[in-house]
Every structure is written in structure tokens, then in C-alpha cells.
Chains A and B, each alone.
Chain A
């Protein structure tokens, strides 16, 4: 196998454009780990995540001709993986979900917020360094109702812009904003056990 590791990326791209089988294998081998990790963010089932990256690599290979190298190959593939994961999610039947309403902020009849005073004894960095807290946070995101979970992943984790997310999700930018805000509020509700309550 030709060594693409030390060569500029354009060498690999050129070989892929010539439908070189060894280049494709190298491409799958070196970019596959990250692609799989991204697919797993969206698809909870690991067979689905593997199918997803298989589709993504085949699609990438079919479209490599059109790849103009305005972004890196990794960024380009990332997008294809996300698209392929979203397609897969759309084709799946949804399980019954917890309603988001229970997780949204509460107001009293005078439109005053009902909220405990939180004290953050541990900084985000300290908390995030703990494996257990990280797992708790990931589980909390995973347990959000589907649309909210995906919009939160796209916007806050993958850092797609509002308009890009709107396009990927076939939503208006306005409803992306509302969905994202509710998703964040719901995540916050789920993470409250990590925060200390100041005695009132």
C-alpha cells in the first residue's frame, strides 16, 4: 500500500479520484475510527453506527470527484457521516419518549421563575474530568427526546451554525433556536443533581 501518511492530502484525494482500491482502504482505515465515533453520537445501536459509516464511505467514494478540497477530507467526510446518520434516524420508528414539558423551566402564575439557587462547588473542568460525571452528562443528552437531542448535538457539540442545522433538519432557523433552547433547558434539568443546592 502506498504510504499516504507523509504525503499531502491531495495525493490521497487524487488516488481516490482514480478509484484506487488501496487508497480507499487507507481512507477507511485512517478516517474510520473518528467517523464511527461521530456516528455513535447519533445512533445508539452499534450495528446502525457501523452501517452508517459504511454508507458514508461509499457515498464519499462515489462523490470524491466533486470534492474540491476547500475543506479538509476529514471535515468533508464528517458532514457525510452526519447526513447519513440523520437519514438512518429518519428511517427508524421512534420509541415512546419522555415529554419535554416536564423538563422545561417553571414559572408561577405571576410569570416569576421558580428556581433553586445553585452553587457550583465544582467547576465544569473539574466535573468534566471525572469519568462518572462525563458518563452522566452523555446519558442525559442521550435521553433527550429525539429532535431535541439531535439539534443539541448539531449546534452545541458539532458546532454547526443555526442555518446549517436548519438545513440538515429541514426546519426553519427560528424553530432550530426554540428547539435548541428547550433542549439546553431540559439538559440543565437533567444535570441538576450535579449542582449543589444552596440552602434557602
Chain B
């Protein structure tokens, strides 16, 4: 495992290669689809060679999707309870 990382840390020093920390900085824009072509190319190259970043990015994307779906049912069919409606309409009349 650590020799695997040693090899990578050497490989990622080559010109045009990103290391993982640099790849990390592009992940937000990558997810938003905002990366300019040349950075996108460099990130994709890094992802092809780096199992850790690929695994991380998949979990990152999954987490965003899970967050969105866990909050997707916020449309309650229920109306407000009568006492709360009464409280709010009364507050308007006081003004």
C-alpha cells in the first residue's frame, strides 16, 4: 500500500500531472461542470491513474445525490394547524 503511494507520489511530480491535493481543488468545479477543458483533461488523467481519488469522487457524488433525495419530499400535503394559522392572521391584524 505505501509503496503504491510512493510510486504515485513520484509519478504525480511529472509535468502536467496533478497530485491528489491539486486534484482535490478541482473537484467542486468538476462537479458543477465548470472546469475549463485543459484542467478537465488533467483531472481526468489523474483519475485514470488514481484509485483513491476515483473512489473519493464517487462517494462525494453519491453523497450529494443522497442529500438531495433525502430532502426531496419537503412538500407536505398537510396544511398548517388551525391555531398557527390563527396566530399568524392575528399578528397581521395587530400591525
Which residues of A are interface residues toward B (Cβ below 8 A)?
Answer: 21, 24-25, 28-30, 32-34, 36-38, 41, 50, 53-54, 57-58, 61-62, 105, 107-108, 110-118, 120, 124-125, 127-128, 133-135, 137-138, 141, 152-153, 156-157, 177-178, 180-181, 184-185, 187-188, 191-192, 194-195, 200
Contacts and interface: CB of A to CB of B under 8 A. Distances in A.
Interface residues of B, number: 52
B27 interface: yes
17 contacts: A30-B79, A33-B80, A34-B76, A41-B74, A62-B95, A107-B24, A108-B5, A118-B59, A137-B66, A137-B69, A141-B70, A152-B67, A184-B60, A188-B63, A191-B59, A191-B66, A200-B1
A188 B59 contact: yes
B24 A128 contact: no
A156 B67 contact: yes
Interface in B34-87: 50-53, 55-56, 58-60, 62-72, 74-80, 84-85, 87
A127 B67 CA distance: 11
A200 B59 CA distance: 17
B63 A105 contact: no
A107 B85 contact: no
A25 B84 CA distance: 11
A147 to B, nearest CB: 16
